Structure formats: C-alpha cells, structure tokens
Structure 1
C-alpha cells in the first residue's frame, strides 16, 4: 500500500490520457492553448504500464481524464487493458460528453463503471461561448447514450462562476434530478494564466451555491462518499445528491487519497503544488522494468505535500492548465 509522509494512504490515481480537447471548458479559458508534441505524450501502452504499477502498489481506483480522453485514437484499447487489472476495484472516466454518443456502449463493455460528465450550462448559446465551439445538443445526446449503456453511476460536474453561469445552478440540479443523476458543483481552481475573467471577481463559493439551492430544495447532509473530495447532500424527495468540491472554502487536503499522472508522465503529488516525479523518464529509460517503476512511485510518496495554498487574489503559481494536469 502507498502511504505518504503524513500517514495518508493513496488509493486513487487520475491518469491524463491526452492534453487535447474537442472544445474547452471553464478551466481552460485562455485565449490560446498550446498542445504538447506527440513525442512528449505517454503512449497508450505506457499509460497502461503505469496503471499496472499503481494497481500492484494497492491503488484500487483509476480515473482516466484529459483534456478530453475520448478523442485519443484507439483509447478503448486502453480502457480494456486497465479494466483487466485483477487488483482494480473501479475504473472511471471524466469526459465532456461530446464523444459518448458513439462510444458509450464500448466504454461500458470495456469495464468503465462510472462516468463524470462536465456540464457548465444548459443554454446552447452560453454553452458555445464558454466552450468556444461546443455543441450542447451533442453533449445531451451523449448523456442519453450513457444512460442507455447502463453505467452504474453518471454524475455531472459544473464549475460555477459569478455572472457567467451562477444563475443556472437550480436548472442544472433539475436536469440531474429528472435523469436520476448526481451533480457536483466545483469552485474554480487557479491553474494556468487566463485572460477571460478575473478569478477573484468571478469566484462563487460552494456556500453561495448551497444557499441558492436551499431556496428551492431541501438538502440533507450525508456522510456518503465516492472516495473523492465532494461533500454530498441528499435532495429530499429525489434519488439525486448534490456535491460540493470546495478547494477554497472547505479545504479537503487532510483526507487526500489521490495523486495524478499528467499526459507527459509527471506524477503530481498535489493538484495545487509542483511537487512531481518524472515517470516517463523511468518508463522509457528502463522499458518493462515494473519493479523499478513501482519503487519510483513508492519513493515519491515522501515528497507528497500536506496540501495546496490557492490564493485567488494573486497570480497563479501553477502555470499548467487543467488540460495537461488531468481533470
């Protein structure tokens, strides 16, 4: 089992499959995105090898993210490979939903149990403005296809910004309730330099969202968890839960059980810090040496920091965007 220097067990890893997206989300609103050369990105085989190492070290939950992971060519092969790991309890996916209409059935067959789908607006024009080129109807068809494919759980994720989409929180909850889904609202994290808005001015806290929702719904706190940072509330009279991921207002670092691997193979020990280890160097320098890779990962736990220090009023100290980090 992986234990960091603060005694926290690491049981969950997020693997970024690609930095490419077919449209942008609230996290990547910079005016120009620069993508990595293909040679710098882990191959699918390298990602599968890293997943195997984590699994053998006691990690039992793996999430595949991006960018948009489903735009990666032959990505279903990767899901099948990871889904066959004997120690793995759960393989999950975060996606913007644009490719689900054609891929949902294949993903379920490959062993994906749960899907998180990013959905920041239900207004087609606003959705297009946020994403630059995104087609809301295509995403909605993808959500319907995912429901038809029979995943154990489908959850919506929404990043809420003041004066951009904060007026839609009740509509988004209604959308989730109507489909028997959960939804999590996420406070924006200061990753990468952006030009579209002032993060401090656009900040809309989880407490503000909860206050807005309580004007229409009765929310009952619950201790239920999916192993992530969401604090969940049951919506009375429905089968849905509302979650809040609050890196600013309700820091969750004390219970952190996760690490991330970027699309170029950097093992990030904390989302909000630059502490990292180059797994790509190990994988390419010592091909098929699983024991060396496992030792490198285990030793990296010694530099896992206590937590992040996000400050919305200052320029971000983390210059990488979420598309590289992994959503």
Structure 2
C-alpha cells in the first residue's frame, strides 16, 4: 500500500467523493436562484467508475474514510448501490454522507442497511422564514424529518453543519445549538468560505469564529473540550460543563491546513488535492482510455505532490476556484 503523501509530509486518508453537482436547494451563499449549468451526463463518472476509483484509493493508496458529497448526493440514483459496494471493500472504509436531508426520511433505512455509518446534514436555521430566505425553498419540515429518520436508522452521531450569515441568521446561533442539544445532534458552525458560484464572498461580511462563539456565549458557557482535535477541522467546546459539545470550523480565520488529511474526487473524475485548488488531475479521461489501477494510482500520487502548504485565502494573490462548492464536493 502506498500513502497519498504530499511534499510537506501530510498524508491523505479521508476521501471526499462528489456524486453530482446538482442540488434541490438554492442556498444564497452557494448558487444563484436559477441554479447553474449542470454537468452533462456523459461527463459524470458512472457508478462502476466511482466504485473503481474508491477501490484504488482504499486498497492501494491507504484511504480509510470515504464521505459522499455533492451537490446533493441523495439525487444520485445509484447512491445506495455505490454505498453498498464501497462498504464491501477490504479493508472497509468508514462511510459518511453530507446532505441537505431532502429525501433522507425515505432513504435513511436503505442507506444504513447498505453500510453507511453516519450523516452530516446542512442546516443553518430552525426558523421556517429564515430557512426559506437562505435556501429559497420551503422545505424545513423535510430536513427535520430526514434528521429524525437518520437518527432512528442508527446513522449517528448525526452531525449538523451550519453557516451563519450576517444580518440573516447570525443571531440564531444559540437557538440552533439549544435545538440540536435537545435532540442529541452534534452541531458544527462553519465560517463562510469563498466558494460561491457568484464569487460574491466578502471577508468583511463573513461571521468569524470569534463572533460565532460570542453569539453562543450569550446563552451558554463554553469551555474547550479535553480531546485533542488532531486532523479534525472542528475546534470542540463543552456546553455548560456537560457532555454536550459544539464545534467551530474556522477555515478562514484559523486555518488548519498543516493538519489536512483530505483529498477530493469530483463528480466528473477530477482529483483536487485542496478545496481551494485551482488545478485538477483528470482520472476519468485516463480511466476511459484504458489506464490500469496502478497507473491511475500513480496519477493520484502525482496530483497529491502538487498540494500547496495552505489555502492562501489571506494572500493578496488568492484567487477563488473556478468551480463553486456544489461542483467540488464538501
């Protein structure tokens, strides 16, 4: 087995696999209301191609965790079969799913039976009017039903990812935490990152980690968790001295690039060695041209060697990736 190691000694063991660039919400910080020009079907990896590349990552390159993302992965028809086939790999990787939870109430039992271990659900508010403002869809009840179904199916711990938007939901942080704690969901707040399709991100308008904590401390007492963070992106805090925790992912103001253990595979078969990379390595074309597993693994290794020491958001020369988050995968 060969490690996906970059020039700085970081080893990627966590693979994020985007299954589609399509989404059934239109979150204002991600894409415009009318949506985007979706990838043509012939450009997307087939189910067999997805599983083959995951197999190479796991059995040849030492990947231990696989997370399925999008767009919205639940709109991928072959999702359950892909999960089942990935769970059958040896060694078996840990399997998770990042989703907006629309349709999860219907699919959670099948996903659990197929071998999915847990889910991360994107939810920025529990107020119906704010949910509609952010997502441009009146689907809050469906998200809540999906969360409940995931928990009932044993896809836990169920994690919630939330982004705070200034003047929209930033004053609702404590409310969302209380709601999550009552239901035993693990809440993580994420600083808004420059990955929107509109390229309208403004650092001055971003709600920072310090501001997130200040909002939470209007209602709760927070103390740093004892457990070391390791390569996990979230800094954890105990809530009111109890067993409940809340996490803050300060991707912009407190970057953790030095501990990064991730690599990404887009829905059209491109390796991205960083969320903010502006270069990609094409595995789809090589695979369709007849490349062997070893040749594809070597291409992957070469792609990782080009990884930069950090995302460079604070560098004056920083350029936002051409692809938006929906086309990269979280």
Interval of TM-score (by shorter of Structure 1 and Structure 2): over 0.9
SS in 1 for 2:92: coil
SS in 2 for 1:292: helix
TM-score by length of 2: 0.93
SS in 2 for 1:270: coil
How much has 1:226 moved relative to structure 2? Answer: 8.1
Say whether 1:302 aligns with 2:314: no
How much has 1:315 moved relative to structure 2? Answer: 8.8
SS in 2 for 1:28: coil
Aligned residue in 2 for 1:25: 27
How much has 1:308 moved relative to structure 2? Answer: 0.6
CA pair 313-7 structure 1, distance change in 2 beyond 3 A = closer
* Aligned mates of 1:37, 1:258 — CA distance in 2: 27
Aligned residue in 2 for 1:108: 112
* Aligned mates of 2:119, 2:209 — CA distance in 1: 22
Aligned residue in 2 for 1:325: 328
Aligned residue in 1 for 2:256: 252
CA contact (8 A) 2:158 2:185 kept: yes
SS in 1 for 2:158: strand
How much has 1:88 moved relative to structure 2? Answer: 3.0
1:79-114 superposed Cα distances (whole Å, 9 cap, x missing partner): 101111112331111000111110011111111112
* Aligned mates of 2:15, 2:270 — CA distance in 1: 12
* Aligned mates of 1:192, 1:267 — CA distance in 2: 20
Gaps of 5+ in 1: none
CA contact (8 A) 1:190 1:316 kept: no
How much has 1:167 moved relative to structure 2? Answer: 1.1
Map 1:42-53; keep pairs closer than 5 Å.
42-53=45-56
How much has 1:211 moved relative to structure 2? Answer: 1.3
Aligned residue in 1 for 2:296: 293
How much has 1:235 moved relative to structure 2? Answer: 1.4
How much has 1:152 moved relative to structure 2? Answer: 3.0
How much has 1:202 moved relative to structure 2? Answer: 2.7
1:169-213 superposed Cα distances (whole Å, 9 cap, x missing partner): 011101110011211101111124427x65234310011111111
Consecutive aligned runs of 4 or more in structure 1 exceeding 3 Å deviation: 224-227, 311-316
Gaps of 5+ in 2: none
CA contact (8 A) 2:87 2:93 kept: no
SS in 2 for 1:184: strand
How much has 1:317 moved relative to structure 2? Answer: 2.6
* Aligned mates of 2:250, 2:240 — CA distance in 1: 22
* Aligned mates of 2:172, 2:321 — CA distance in 1: 29
CA pair 22-248 structure 1, distance change in 2 beyond 3 A = same
How much has 1:228 moved relative to structure 2? Answer: 2.8
Say whether 1:206 aligns with 2:209: yes
Of 15, 30, 38, which aligns to 1:13?
Answer: 15
What is the RMSD computed on CA atoms of the aligned residues? 2.0
TM-score by length of 1: 0.94
SS in 2 for 1:93: strand
How much has 1:319 moved relative to structure 2? Answer: 2.2
Higher deviation after alignment, 8-17 or 269-278 = 269-278
Of 117, 132, 135, which aligns to 1:131?
Answer: 135
1:300-324 superposed Cα distances (whole Å, 9 cap, x missing partner): 2211111112259999531211110
Say whether 1:54 aligns with 2:57: yes
